[in-house]
Amino acid sequence: MKEPKISVIIPVWNTEKYILKCINSLKNQTYKNIEFIFIDDASSDNSVNIIKENQTKNMILIQNKTHKGAAYSRNIGIKKATGLYIGSVDSDDFIPPTYYEQLMQSILKNNADCAVCDMLHIYVNNEQSNIVIAGCDGKVNKLNLINNSMAASSCNKLIKKELLEQNPYPIGKMNEDVAVIIPALVNAKKIEYVPGLCYNYVQHKSSIQNKTFSEQRFDMFDIIEITLKRIENCKDFETIKEALIYNQLITMFIYVFPKINNNKQRYNYLKQYGNKILKYDIGHNKFFWQFLSHESKKNFLYYKTLFYLLRKKHYYLCNKVMGLALVYKKYFAKNVTKEITKDLLIKEAKKQAKKKSKIKISVVIPNYNYELFLYERLYSILYQKQKVSEIIILDDVSTDNSREMIDDLVKCLSPYVNIKKNYNEVNSGSPFKQWEKGFNLATEDYVWIAEADDYCENNMLSLLVKQIKKEPNVRLAYVDTAFINGEGKKIIKSIKPEIDILKTKHWDKTYINDGKDEFQNYAYLNCTIANVSSVLFKKDDYTDLFNLSGKFRQAGDWLFYVNVMLKGKVAYVNKPINYYRVHGNNVTSTTKKEKHLQEIMAIHDYFDKNYHLNDKQKKEIQARYKFLKKVWNLD
């Protein structure tokens, strides 16, 4: 069967500094049945000449006689497109070679109308570190794809053309994408998410979104009204409406207004904003309250106060509080993190070298395409209060720049700490193979498998070691886990509600328990350890356990944890100080859910044959199956 044709629309306006890199990234696409439609919006720089100099047969150039705006250009592009699917790339951005191939593969494999991926924000002037923003947080469904800060972007998506033809881009408005992309997502029969694939979104001072605040930003209120009118007959309209209000309007207040440094201007804009936003009853917006629930106590009080003053139309006081927060931003700033540089890592490595401990720990860092998080991961290891005796970085044939970064880091840090690297020549195809390799390479008494994209607080190891010192027969010790998204924002504060299915409150306290008791009363039913990065294992030859667990692609970690804890005792620390980074759940198809359930059933069969489950346990297991079938739509 011939590949479906893709039309990629590239609006152009005065991007001569960046457009050649964009063009080259399009030329290098591995997907071949593709056309690129450049619409120049009367650029006054050298952009058009650069396009012409690099134009190929599958590149079409359209030139607007006068400057019309991005919406006009996108509408022209859609009319001109001959592809079945439409992609969009801004002329100052660029994409990886397999970008459209991966998106199309996901669409064809799952018979979808649209595919969505993550976005890498690249700050060209080094104003801050680059960050990945996930295209979906948590379980993949239509609501979570829409309730996302990047939901309205045209660029991190491949969409069936007929969905875009239904609603033209509103001309002359800022943020015009919202009124087109959101209805397309709402009307799509099926949407696929491709986690880990990133659209490279270049941030520079001349970008529209980075320009100084102006009244044009209030175009978003008109755009929201157009969007709501276009989707008013959809299922779950009220919930989707709340998600839109939060992501497009409330976040403007939270993140954009504090950037207005002029008090008088901010006050005037607050009055205009308040008169427009209050019609949406923001005080009862459930997504805003979800946002607040993940904030620190200080931030919670700060935002709650701001919104109370806004709703009461006390704009003067609201402006004063916001101004005060700018002065004392160290108390109120959101997601403040220390900029992690190579020099900072070396500084922490020197401190690590001076630490001493009778408990010897090997840290294994399995990596695959996580160059964006390696500095943060290494910092969270070197910064530990507890001494780490060796660090082993494994790479499973990454296709990004991970290996170059690892080579450099090992060279810089090895004078101060025992750090090594080990590279696979062929991708292992299984995390358990990398875990096993790490255990075999580790030389110390305890092993910490610290996944490259996760991180933790600096007291995690010290608290686990404290438990181990109390009871030397502890085979594994672990902490509570919080979930974060690609940006590092907490999306689940604690995994305890998800683990404690039987409502036992077992994890509401720190404990040491016999492994057999832990299994018989809790771990027989479901996996009670959310993330391997939260665990400190006693070193042993676990070859047989890895071989057994490796037979299961989605539930093998559960089987491994159980078999380890049954060898002795298990310790738990009731603090959510491990952070598991969720890039999205790619278990979206019915077939994959069925296989996941089959694995769970097979593991329960293994438990019964080897450890003899009782009637009460079997009853709880059947109830668990019934629940999973319901939530996974497998009835």
Does this model's pTM top 0.95? no
Residues of the chain with pLDDT under 50: 330-337, 584-590
Question: Is the same domain home to 349 and 304?
Answer: no
Please spell the DSSP secondary structure of 7-54, one letter per residue.
EEEEEESS-TTTHHHHHHHHHT-S--SEEEEEEE---SSSHHHHHHHT
224: in domain: no
User: Residue 125's pLDDT is what?
Assistant: 65
Question: Is the same domain home to 136 and 106?
Answer: yes
362: in domain: yes
Could you tell me if 293 and 494 are in contact, meaning their C-beta atoms sit under 8 angstroms apart? Answer: no
CATH number at residue 200: 3.90.550.10
Q: Which domain holds residue 560?
A: 454-586
Q: Which two tokens stand for residue 122?
A: 């690249």
Could you tell me if 373 and 452 are in contact, meaning their C-beta atoms sit under 8 angstroms apart? Answer: yes
Question: Is the same domain home to 446 and 469?
Answer: no
Could you tell me if 301 and 295 are in contact, meaning their C-beta atoms sit under 8 angstroms apart? Answer: no
Could you tell me if 178 and 224 are in contact, meaning their C-beta atoms sit under 8 angstroms apart? Answer: yes
User: Residue 589's pLDDT is what?
Assistant: 43
Question: Is the same domain home to 252 and 279?
Answer: yes
User: Residue 585's pLDDT is what?
Assistant: 35
Residues 6 or more apart whose Cβ sits within 8 Å of residue 544: none
Beta bridge partners, 448, equal 363, 536
Question: Is the same domain home to 574 and 498?
Answer: yes
Question: Is the same domain home to 247 and 368?
Answer: no
Q: How many domains does the chain have?
A: 5
User: Residue 181's pLDDT is what?
Assistant: 96
Query: Of the candidates 334, 367, 401, which is a domain's last residue?
Result: 334
Question: Is the same domain home to 60 and 158?
Answer: yes
How far, in Å, CA of 257 to CA of 436, rounded? 50
Residues 6 or more apart whose Cβ sits within 8 Å of residue 556: 432, 549, 550, 599
Query: Of the candidates 295, 313, 334, which is a domain's last residue?
Result: 334
User: Residue 208's pLDDT is what?
Assistant: 52
Q: Give the torsion sign (CA, 287, 293, 299, 301).
A: positive
Strands 511-514 and 569-581: antiparallel
204: in domain: yes
217: in domain: no
Could you tell me if 119 and 132 are in contact, meaning their C-beta atoms sit under 8 angstroms apart? Answer: yes
Indicate the helix (H) or strand (E) that contains 441: helix 431-441
Query: Of the candidates 285, 303, 334, which is a domain's last residue?
Result: 334
The predicted-structure confidence for 540-566, as pLDDT tens digits, reads as follows: 999 999 999 989 988 999 999 999 999
